[in-house]
Amino acid sequence: MIEIATGKHFEENRKNKHSKDAKYGWYRYESRFALPVFDDNGEIDRYNVFHVLMLIRHAKDGRMYLYDIMEIKKETSKLFRSNDLTQ
């Protein structure tokens, strides 16, 4: 999810208490992931694709840490069959 993330957006700390853990602020990224849906035989029938907003904190050690995954929304415009991903 992190490697394919897009839409990097910086935010300052909103609350003073966050300056300890996120000294250099926050970044928001958009990403997606898929979960398999199995048929009655235990075979993968299709994938449900989800779009998410990830919140990353930029700590005082200069590193960036995944803090939260928010706004999880299921993609409903296209159905992904298992053979769509293997071709």
Tell me the backbone φ, ψ of residue 59, rounded to 5 degrees.
Answer: -80, 170
Hunting for tokens 């928010």 — which residue is that?
A: 70
pLDDT for the residue 9: 85
pLDDT for the residue 4: 83
**In 1-87, where does DSSP find H-type helix?**
82-86
Query: Considering the entire predicted model, what is its pTM?
Result: 0.67
What is the mean pLDDT, run by run of 10 residues, along the chain of 87 residues? 83 70 86 91 90 90 89 78 55
